[in-house]
Amino acid sequence: MEVEKRIMVNGGMKLPVGYRFHPTEQELILHYLLPKALASPLPSSIIPVFDDFFSHPLTFPGDQEERQRYFFCKKKQEVSGNAHRIKTSSGDGYWKAIRKEREVIARGRTVGIRRTLVFYGTNNSSANCNKTRWCMTEYSLAGFASTKVFGEWAVYKVYKRKESKGRRQRISEGRDHEEEDLNCIHFTIGTDHETCPPPPSPPTSADESGSII
């Protein structure tokens, strides 16, 4: 029991320090997704069952510091009238497919279908949904007719895209500009306390008696 506590983080399994779960697409489908669909033993219970379409990605279980997290989930149908769009159950956004489906080939045979989805989240200042950097790659089975008996299981890889180089540069330039503004001190000369020397006096002239006028 104590060992289980050490390897579980926020409902998901935490790998030992230095280890990463980084399977290939073929390994993910043949050694994890296919046994899951057939209710067969898995090599490891490292991939939890979780409904990716229930809430915002920030609330997903597991270690938030991991660059990639994997979940088993039943495939969802797109919202009617909005092809390739799946709303979250919590109503805080939706997932949208952004690329065409692609076959995953293993040993010359199609074993799976891959597609990429991006999360559009609600904004506090607007009712509209804005595109975020959260992405999800969906892997589903293909070429295994018997898997239909067990439902449409899929495995999802969740990750966050890096900011584009242009955006990082704009943010950096904005910060530099703010620092320049903070480092600049504008001096003004007050009218009540003049520190400048008085203006020169006009030239003087003398009359015939020698008096200065």
Q: How far apart are CA 128 and CA 23, in angstroms?
A: 36
pLDDT confidence of residue 13 = 64
pLDDT confidence of residue 185 = 45
Which residues touch 156 (CB under 8 Å, ≥6 apart)? 52, 70, 71, 72, 73, 136, 137, 138, 139
pLDDT confidence of residue 134 = 94
Is residue 88 situated within a structural domain? yes
Number of domains within the chain:
1
Is residue 210 situated within a structural domain? no
Is residue 35 situated within a structural domain? yes
Compute the mean pLDDT over every residue in the chain, rounded to the nearest whole number.
76
- Dump pLDDT digits (tens) for 100-138: 899 999 999 999 999 999 999 986 655 678 899 999 999
DSSP 25: H
pLDDT confidence of residue 99 = 81
Is residue 173 situated within a structural domain? no
* Per-residue tokens: 49: 């069952």
Domain extent at residue 162: 20-167
What single string gives the DSSP state of each residue in 128-189? EEEEEEEEEEEEEE-S-GGGGGG--EEEEEEEEPPPPHHHHHHHHHHHHHHHHHHH------
pLDDT confidence of residue 189 = 42
Q: Which domain CATH number covers 159?
A: 2.170.150.80
pLDDT confidence of residue 150 = 63
Q: CA separation (Å) from 102 to 6, 69, 213? A: 38, 21, 102
Residue 7 host element (H or E): helix 2-7
Is residue 198 situated within a structural domain? no
Is residue 191 situated within a structural domain? no
pLDDT confidence of residue 180 = 54
Q: Which residues of the chain have pLDDT under 50?
A: 1-6, 171, 182, 184-195, 206, 208, 212-213
Q: How far apart are CA 212 and CA 22, in angstroms?
A: 100
